[in-house]
Structure 1
Amino acid sequence: MKTSLKIGSIMGIPVKLHITFLLILPVFVLVFSINEAPLGFAGTTPLILNYALSLLTTILLFTCVLLHEFGHSYIAKRYGVEIKDITLLLFGGVSSMEEIPRVPSQELRIAFAGPFVSFVIGLALLGMNFFTASVFSGYADTSVYLMFYILGSINIVLGLFNLLPAFPMDGGRLLRAWYAKRMSYIKATHYAASFGKMFAFLMGLLGLFYNPWLILIAFFIYIGASEEDKSTTISILLEKYEVRDIMTENVLSVPPEITVEELAKLMFENKHLGYPVMQGNSLKGVVTFTDIRNILPNDRFATLVSDIMTRDIISVAPGDTASDAFKVMTLNNIGRLLVVSDGELVGILSRSDLMRTMMLLNE
């Protein structure tokens, strides 16, 4: 099931709404409608105006979040980084970048661009609130410049929150960029991630006594720091190797005309959970254990591999780095890649192969 819906493109970058964003949208509308000024529109009459202003404020708020992410993306594109998409999520927005540059000054500028945009928007809106409240007091509905105040204040808070020195916030990348000027990139990432984990632990502890929401945010920060540390370490260490160095060359394949039941027995015997589907020397697709699980046991005798295989093949070349292969697996959330050279299948690379290589490198 698709979890994100594309709503358009800006600067050639696809913009998506995640299902979690659609769930949180009415919550924000409700919060703004029941809170008293200066953080909400409770008491605004008629009631339809209350809800209209709450909805408009919510939409504008997430537009500001989108602009925050475009701040990152604009600077990243100037350094040649490819932006896959920008997705609005439950906790805000995220730019899916090909890879953050490892030049500390570039990473610093990319990381700070988002909070900078939030600060500019926040200060501009607070200025508009002050101007309208001073000049048009008595002439304009107070709820109009109240909206400026709410959005301005939240943008300032958003900018400050993202400067917290912990992954996955922008402050964690700023901290890594500072460390990276003084040590290796792996060590800089490890130090910045460790700082983020410590920060998350203290925030969670604070949440036990004051606000349970802080525990949820702390968990989010701790996981983000751990994942950044692990993925960066893996990516850098695997850059030393090419796919041909660690792939499996003697590839077991299956023909498209065998049944799913026969495939299941083959998987059980060979202990492999994924196979390329070959018809003669022609690569037709790939089939995995996940494909089998979607077929009821009684239907497996009459269902062919050709009926369930994936025809959109994601592959790498033998000369690609193992690090690039790892990124392709991560971006596409798959466990194995076919290795193709000049249209011919020459090997297969699994996530297990990469992890085994990492274990040997760490010894």
Structure 2
Amino acid sequence: MQQRTIFDAVHIGSVDLKNRIVMAPMTRARTAQPGNVPTALMAEYYRQRASAGLIITEATQISPQGQGYSWTPGIHSAEQVAGWKLITSAVHQAGGKIFSQLWHVGRMSHESFHPDGKPVAPSALSPNAQVWVVDSEGIGHMVDCPVPRALTHDDINHVIADYRQAAINAIESGFDGIEVHGGNGYLIDQFLRRTSNKRTDEYGGSMANRVRFAQEVLEAISDAIGANRTGIRLAPFITQRGMDDPQAIEAILVLAAWCEKKGIAFIHLAEADWDDAPQVPYEFRETLRATFSGTIIVAGNYTKDKAEKLLMAGVVDLVAFGRPFIANPDLPRRLKECLPLASIGDAATLFGGTEVGYTDYPYLPVAVV
């Protein structure tokens, strides 16, 4: 077993990281309206957490069509790019590294975000799920997703072009790299699974056809900005949102083998994070490692000890922490010095709002000796 800790420096693609701790992407819905524009408040939030080896931003829509939740940021307008420049500059000045997570929600959306009232998806199938939408009085509610319309060939080409342009915009914004959100029942995941993809053309049916869209997205992005600055997040064991497909693991391993040949920098696994969630089979971890020699990141209710066991076994390279980073902006120090972790205060401040529950969580003071 390799003697590795979460505090060791590491490379990911072309980027040097000071430790193996990743701040996981977390939607916080704090953009300026109208326009879903990143703000100076968001810059302060990310700056405070720059002691992570790597920050991966909250999911960021690649186009207006890609939006599924209120007040989430985009990276498709000049105003949004300018807003992200504030954030990347703040993180870099604090010594951190930051990747943009590029997002198209597909059918996980609401009619209010679409001129024709129809989200898009591989097939016209409802996810039987809800998204967070703010009403005319500024109050957020969970609302049902409508039945989407199926993407045409022209639509697919436009979406791939939107991913490519969003990646270019991310590099212009100062990001060190990008992560494509390919998990959690969003658009790329919808193409991968038979439960959400009933197409009979070259994007549906066979395994090779169902992974094609993800491959073409990654191909377009990596050709534009470099495979060494490109990664993808996948959720092998998700079953919610109509994603319960027994072939999902096989499809993800096929995609991982393609990522290996393409030289994609990393694969980030979004694992179940509720208390009684099923454990990820160790056999899957070994198979993924044998298939993909690039960086593997995992996220899912990890502790320092659990993270380091997998690091030492060599089946993962970095570990992402989500909710602990909300209340503990200095999380790496607290983990390293075995200091107590703060808890999230009012859950109502998680989505939308002001600096309360966002940038007002303090660092622990350094003891004077």
Question: Does the alignment reach a TM-score above 0.5?
Answer: no
Between Structure 1 and Structure 2, whose CA radius of gyration is higher? 1
> RCO higher in 1 or 2 (8 Å CA, sep ≥ 6)?
2
Q: State the TM-score, normalized to the length of structure 2.
A: 0.26
